[in-house]
Amino acid sequence: MWGNKMKPMSLCLINMGTKGLELIKSFPDVIPADSMNQLVYKTIPIGSNPGDFAQTTFNDLNLTSYIFRIPSASDRDNLASLVAIFSSADYDSKTIKQVFSWVVTELENKALLNTQTLQNILPKLFKGFSKGQFKIEITSTSTISFNFKKDEKDRNGNAIDSLADDLW
């Protein structure tokens, strides 16, 4: 299952700015600016709530986004999304959702969920999709790591166990 089909073309961080949705960062920056400007508006659909997961297409691109809330000490919390852009529909969207939601939850639990941290880890997260795992040092005392392959085996094993339980 792992390989090039789980490697996105680009990962993006989008948030709700004062003038609407805006691109904070994309890595790598391979999508033309005019396409990216239009694509941004498809990443957080109207009526979205934190924890929602959205999938859509734009031209020949497939977008998968995880919507979450970035806490703010001085103002109201802000909606944002982590977005994976693929050149084909041949990828495991459940894994994307799981990874994005896990990263956001881990950062939130460590009180490190903010746009600067997300911008900093985007390149390492992108490389992790290629390798099937990542280990990202956030601070000298905080690290997050994820092994896609191990988790896929666990999910498949649990599904088989669940099916066996249902049959008996």
47 near 54, Cβ under 8 Å? no
Range of the domain at 142: 4-167
Whole-structure pTM value: 0.82
- Kindly state the percentage of the chain with pLDDT values over 70: 85
Question: Which three-class secondary structure state does DSSP give residue 17?
Answer: strand
Cα-Cα-Cα-Cα dihedral sign, residues 85, 90, 91, 92: positive
Alpha helices in the chain (DSSP H): 33-39, 93-109, 115-131, 148-167
User: How many distinct structural domains can be found in the chain?
Assistant: 1
The CATH number assigned to the domain holding 129 equals: 3.30.450
Determine the pLDDT at residue 154. Answer: 52
Highest mean pLDDT among 21-25, 91-95, 131-135: 21-25
End-to-end Cα distance, the chain: 29
